[in-house]
Structure 1
C-alpha cells in the first residue's frame, strides 16, 4: 500500500483534501469518482509539496500551447472518425517536432495501451497539461464522449489562446514606443545635457529654473544610476512578494478593478475566461457547483475569484447564478443579463459560451481603441518632454547671446 495525497471537488462544489492508503493512483481516482467527486490532483504523499514546487520551477513544458491545441484537435478528429485511442495516439506521434515531445507522446500511448486512462497519462506529464485539461478529459471518459469533450476542449484552448494573443499583440507597439521614449530621454539627460553644464558655469550666466532642474536630473542619473537600478530591482522584488501574499494580492487586485480603464479591461477578460471555462464544463456534463469551483481556479484576479466563491455558496442554497454574481456589482451587467436568460431558458451552458464570445470581442475592440489613442498620446508626451529639455538648454544660450550684445 502507498499513501496518496488527493484534492477533489464534490458535486456541491466543495474542495476536499486528504490522504488514502491504497495500492495505486487509479484506485484513489476510482474511489473519488465512485463518491461522485471530480479529482483535481492525486500524487504520492511522500513526494512533498516542496519537491513538486521545485520541479515545477525548472521543468520546461514539453509541448507549446499551439501544439497542445493542434494535438487536441487532431485527437478529437481521429476519435470521431472511429479510430481506437491507442491507434489515434500512434498516428499523432509525427505531430511534435522535438524528440522530447515525441517521447512524451510515446509514454502516453504506451500507458493507454497498458490500460491506463488517458486522463491519468496526461496528468503524469506534470507541467504540460493543465488541471482543467485533465479534469475535462476525465469527465469525458466517465461520460463515454471523449471525442466530443476533446473537440470542445480544443475550441476552448484555441479561443483562450486567441484572446491572450490579441492582448499581447495590442501591447507590443505601445510598449516598444514607450521603451524608445525612455531610452531617448535617458540619452538626452545623461549624455547630452551634462555637456552644457561646464559651459554655463564658465560663462557665469544666470540659469532659468527649468535649466537648473534638468541639469540636476541629468547629474543625478549620471552619478547615481546604479542606485536607481538597485531601487528598481528591489521594487520589483517587493511587488512579487506582495503578489505572492494572498491578502496583499487581494488588495492589489481590488485596486486594479477600481482603476477606470484598466479595471474595465480586467473585468471583461476575466468574464470571458470564466464564462468559457464554465460553459465548456457544463457542456461536458460537469455539475454547476463543481464547474464553478474548477472555473474559479483559472481566474487570475483574486478579487473576482472571491466574488465567484461567494456566488458558489449562494448557488448551493438554491439561488440563481446570475443573481449571485450580480450582488457584487463587479461583473458586467450584460454578462449577468445573458446568464439570467440562459438560466431561464435552461441553456446556461450555451449562453455562457455566447457570453465568452461577446466579451472576447469587447476586449479586442477596447484594446484597439486604447491603442489608437495611446500612440498619439505617447508621441505628444515625448514631444513636450523633449521640447522642455531643449528649452532648458536654449534659454541660457540666448541669455549669453543677449549679454554679449
Structure 2
C-alpha cells in the first residue's frame, strides 16, 4: 500500500484535495471514480513506508475498541469496518478497507488484520485468533484494546520523562561545539609564538578543541548514515533495536524488562480471561514481542506448555523474567485466578518501570547540568589563564 495525494472534482464542481492509500495510482483513480469524483492529479507522497501500514498502540487500541463496540451493538463485522472506513484517518481508513476486502474474500479476521504491520497490529491479530478460538470476539477485542491503551499511556509517560534530559544533553553538546568551532579558533592566534610559555591547562583546552573539530564531523556523518540505514533497511533497524534492547534489559531492575514483561502479562491475562487455553494463549501473547532474543526464549517454552507444565515453571526457565511476576503467577495458580494475578503483576511491573525511569532522570538531569556547567567554567578559566600568560609575556 502506498500513500498518494490527490486532487479531484466533486459532483458540485468543487476541488477536493486529500491523502489516500492504495496499491497503485490506477487503483486510487478507480476508487475516486466509484465515489463520483473526477480525479485531476494523483501523486505519491515523498516519504513512503516500506511494507504494510503500521499501527501505533493508540491507533490499534482505538481500532479494536471501536470494532468491539460496533460488534457488540449487533452490527456485522464487514458493516462495522465499512463504517470505520468512512470515519478514520486516511491510513486507518486504508487498513479498514483492506481488512474488509479480505473478509469479503473469505479470510478470517485474524488473517485479514495482516493488512496492518507493527507490534500493535500483531497483537490485534493475536486477539482476533483468541476471539475466534473462544467465540467471544468482541469481548476479547475490547479487553485487548484496554491493554493497548494502558501500554500506550505508559510508553508516552516514559517518553515525556526522557524529553527534558535529552534536551539538556543536546544543549551540552551544542555548547561544547560552539566552544570548539567558534571560541577556541578565534583565540588560537593569540597564543602563537609563545611555545612552552603557554600554561599546560590552556594547551590541553586548545588540543581538546582540535580533537572535537576533527571527530565531531565524523561522528555526525556516522550517526546520519546509521539513521538513514535504519530508515531504509528493516534488517538494520531490527538488529540495532535488538542490540540496544539486550543492553537495556541487563540488571536486576531494568525498566525496559519490566515494561516488556508487563505488556506480555497483560496480553496473556486478556487471552486467559477470554477462555483461551494456556498453551495457545501463550503463543498469541508472545507473538507481538519485537525483541528477537527474548522472542526466541519465549517461543522455546511453547512445547513445555503443551505438555502441561505450569506457567510459573515456564517463566522460571526464562532468564529475563522478573521474579515478582513469577511470584504473582504462582499465587494465582494456587488460588485458581491466574488471569487476575497476571493483571496484578502487569500493573506492578508497569508502575515499577515508570518509577525507575523517574528516579534515574531525577538524578541524571541535574547531574548533566552540573557537569556541563563545570566543563564550560573550567574551559573558560583555562583560556583566561592562557590570555593572562600572554599579557604577562607582552608586559615583560
Same fold (TM over 0.5): yes
| Residue of structure 2 aligned with 1:264, choices 254, 260, 265 | 254
CA-CA distance at 1:104 after TM superposition: 4.3
Say whether 1:382 aligns with 2:372. Answer: yes
Alpha carbons 1:311, 1:321 under 8 Å: kept = no
Alpha carbons 1:253, 1:303 under 8 Å: kept = no
TM-score, length-scaled by structure 2: 0.74
CA-CA distance at 1:314 after TM superposition: 4.3
Separation in 2, partners of 1:108, 1:311: 32
User: Aligned pair in 2 of structure 1 residues 210, 314: CA closer, same or farther (>3 Å)?
Assistant: farther
CA-CA distance at 1:71 after TM superposition: 2.4
Say whether 1:163 aligns with 2:148. Answer: no
CA-CA distance at 1:378 after TM superposition: 0.9
Alpha carbons 1:112, 1:118 under 8 Å: kept = yes
CA-CA distance at 1:266 after TM superposition: 2.0
Separation in 1, partners of 2:194, 2:381: 18
Residue by residue over 1:172-201, the C-alpha shift from the partner in whole angstroms, topping out at 9 and shown as x without a partner, is 111111111101111111210121111012
Specify the alignment match of 1:279 in structure 2: 269
Specify the alignment match of 2:74 in structure 1: 82
CA-CA distance at 1:96 after TM superposition: 0.9
Q: Which aligned pairs between 1:96-245 and structure 2 lie closer than 5 A?
A: 96-98=88-90, 101-109=92-100, 112=103, 116-123=107-114, 125-127=115-117, 130-202=121-193, 206-223=197-214, 225-232=216-223
Residue by residue over 1:145-171, the C-alpha shift from the partner in whole angstroms, topping out at 9 and shown as x without a partner, is 111011112112111212221222221
Separation in 2, partners of 1:344, 1:259: 29
Query: Which shows bigger deviation, 279-288 or 357-366?
Result: 279-288
Q: Which aligned pairs between 1:15-30 and structure 2 lie closer than 5 A?
A: none
| Residue of structure 1 aligned with 2:342, choices 339, 352, 360 | 352
User: Aligned pair in 2 of structure 1 residues 368, 286: CA closer, same or farther (>3 Å)?
Assistant: same
Indicate the SS of the match to 1:130. Answer: helix
Aligned residues: 344
Residue by residue over 1:117-142, the C-alpha shift from the partner in whole angstroms, topping out at 9 and shown as x without a partner, is 3333323x242772331232133134
- The runs of 5 or more residues in structure 2 that have no matched partner are 1-47
Q: Which aligned pairs between 1:327-342 and structure 2 lie closer than 5 A?
A: 327=317, 330-342=320-332
CA-CA distance at 1:237 after TM superposition: 8.9
Residue by residue over 1:21-54, the C-alpha shift from the partner in whole angstroms, topping out at 9 and shown as x without a partner, is xxxxxxxxxxxxxxxxxxxxxxxxxxxxxxxxxx
Name the Cα RMSD after superposition: 3.4
Alpha carbons 1:275, 1:356 under 8 Å: kept = yes
Separation in 1, partners of 2:89, 2:238: 36
CA-CA distance at 1:259 after TM superposition: 4.8
Residue by residue over 1:362-389, the C-alpha shift from the partner in whole angstroms, topping out at 9 and shown as x without a partner, is 1112222222222111100101111121
Specify the alignment match of 2:382 in structure 1: 392
Separation in 2, partners of 1:203, 1:273: 64
Indicate the SS of the match to 1:369. Answer: helix
Separation in 2, partners of 1:253, 1:62: 21
Specify the alignment match of 1:11 in structure 2: none
Specify the alignment match of 1:21 in structure 2: none
Alpha carbons 1:307, 1:325 under 8 Å: kept = no
CA-CA distance at 1:271 after TM superposition: 1.5
CA-CA distance at 1:298 after TM superposition: 2.7
User: Aligned pair in 2 of structure 1 residues 382, 69: CA closer, same or farther (>3 Å)?
Assistant: same
CA-CA distance at 1:360 after TM superposition: 1.3
TM-score, length-scaled by structure 1: 0.73
Specify the alignment match of 2:288 in structure 1: 298
Query: Which shows bigger deviation, 277-286 or 220-229?
Result: 220-229
User: Aligned pair in 2 of structure 1 residues 93, 319: CA closer, same or farther (>3 Å)?
Assistant: closer
Alpha carbons 1:268, 1:362 under 8 Å: kept = yes
Alpha carbons 1:178, 1:378 under 8 Å: kept = yes
Separation in 2, partners of 1:83, 1:328: 43
Separation in 1, partners of 2:136, 2:63: 17
